[in-house]
Each structure stands twice: as structure tokens, then as C-alpha cells.
Structure 1
């Protein structure tokens, strides 16, 4: 097996995002939630994700916005976020290896943890 390269270009981010969401769309637990929410708006979502990850990993100001609000009302809980992270890590580990790859996995894990806890908090508060 050939050595895997690290994430280093926008094309790598596009590959990461496209393959990750291809796996998400097929997943029996979280796929229906994403497909129902996005319907025919996958392309704009993918573009937003390219920009988001470019900002996070390369410190390029391609994304502006607040990622939490669109997720706040989704019918998800910790189980869904655990699956999201499992798919993310499996997908990325099959394609890339290196410090930026590890940074992406750490950032995704932290984001999933935060989103899961914030959603639970808002639900418990009746917000």
C-alpha cells in the first residue's frame, strides 16, 4: 500500500468533503437526516464545506458564518454525532495521513462534541 499524503490543497479538501458526504448520504442512521434537510441543495452545501475546511485547516478566510444554527433543530443526538465522527475518521484515514489530517479529525471531533452538547442543552432548556 502506498504512503498516504497529508491534506495540503483545496483539491484535497474537496476530495475529503466529497467522499465523506458520499458516505454520509448512504448511511442508514444519518443519511436520511442529511438527505431530507438538503434535498436538492447538496452542491451549495458541499461548496460551503470546502470553504469551511479551507478556513479551519489552511487559515484562509473562505468561510464566514455560524455553523451551529442550521444544526440546532435537527432530529439528532449523541448517537448521530458519534456516527458522523466514525464516518469522518474512516473516510479521511483511507485517503490521507499527516499533521493536517490529524488536525482535521481533532477539529471534527471537537465540533461534534460541542454541537451535541449545545443541542442537548437547548432541548433541556426548551429553547
Structure 2
């Protein structure tokens, strides 16, 4: 897709396409995929309306989302610790998916919100002093996101 012709995220339908593409990549990813497929046993058809509600609420304030987004992540972390590297990979895939489909203020807001969520989840799971550094191959440490925001 020509980057100059990519439209912004403006509707729930846009979110549905974006999230399905993102989760297809996330489920297939060797680093974070097992959290979805093996540990959580995520059924994408069940998960999609909930996560679409979450992002519709986050970006447009139009959906009702009254679930606890942290609880499933805490359960995953109890089964197998989630690290900065896992959250960093999530952010990488999230950015790549958005950038491949959209550009504009809502796309930028979705990427920034994803970064904030990743850092907040990591810190909440591991404590406020949890390192946002990572050392896996091809990994962009979450600390780089914090430095970019501070600049």
C-alpha cells in the first residue's frame, strides 16, 4: 500500500481489520505467540469484540468497555513471566500493523497508547522498578519508547 494514500483509523470496521491483522501476526510470532495460543488458548473470534471495544473506547470514546484489561495479563504472567522483551515485541508488531494500514492522528494515538499500555502493564506486573530494557534479537527496548516521549 502506498504510504501517502493510507487513511486514518476512523471507524470500528477499521479497528476490526487492524486488530485481526495484528493478532494474526501476534499469534504467529515465536516470542509472544505462545502466550496467546498455548498459555491463554485465546479464541480470536471470542476475543475480537472485546478488544475492539477496548480500542474503540481508547481512540473514539464511543464503545462501552467495562472489563479489567489487566487481569488476563496477570494470569498469563503467573503462568509464565511476561518481560520487557515480550512487551517490546508486542509494540513492534502493533506499530508495524498500524503503519502498514493507516496514517493520521488516530493511528499515531493508537501507537502511543499501545506504548503506554505496554510500559504500564510491565511495571504493574513486575513492580515500578522493573527494567524496561530488553536484550533479544531485533528487540527495541521499551526504555527507548520512554526516552522518545521525554525528548
Q: TM-score, normalised by structure 1?
A: 0.90
Whole-Å separation in 2 of the counterparts to 1:50 and 1:41:
14
Aligned 8 A contact 2:8 2:107 in 1: yes
1:81-100 Cα deviation digits (max 9, x unpaired): 00000000001100000000
1:41 Cα shift? 2.2
Whole-Å separation in 2 of the counterparts to 1:113 and 1:40:
22
Whole-Å separation in 1 of the counterparts to 2:68 and 2:41:
21
Aligned to 1:24: 26
1:40 Cα shift? 5.7
Aligned to 1:89: 95
Whole-Å separation in 2 of the counterparts to 1:40 and 1:3:
34
Aligned counterpart for 1:77 among listed residues 72, 83, 106? 83
Aligned to 2:5: 3
Q: Structure 1: which 4+ aligned runs deviate by more than 4 Å?
A: none
Q: Name the count of aligned residue pairs.
A: 123
Comparing 6-15 and 30-39, the one that deviates more: 30-39
1:62 Cα shift? 2.4
Structure 2 unaligned residues grouped into runs of 5+: 131-151
Task: Give the number of the structure with larger relative contact order, counting CA–CA contacts within 8 Å between residues 6 or more apart.
Answer: 1
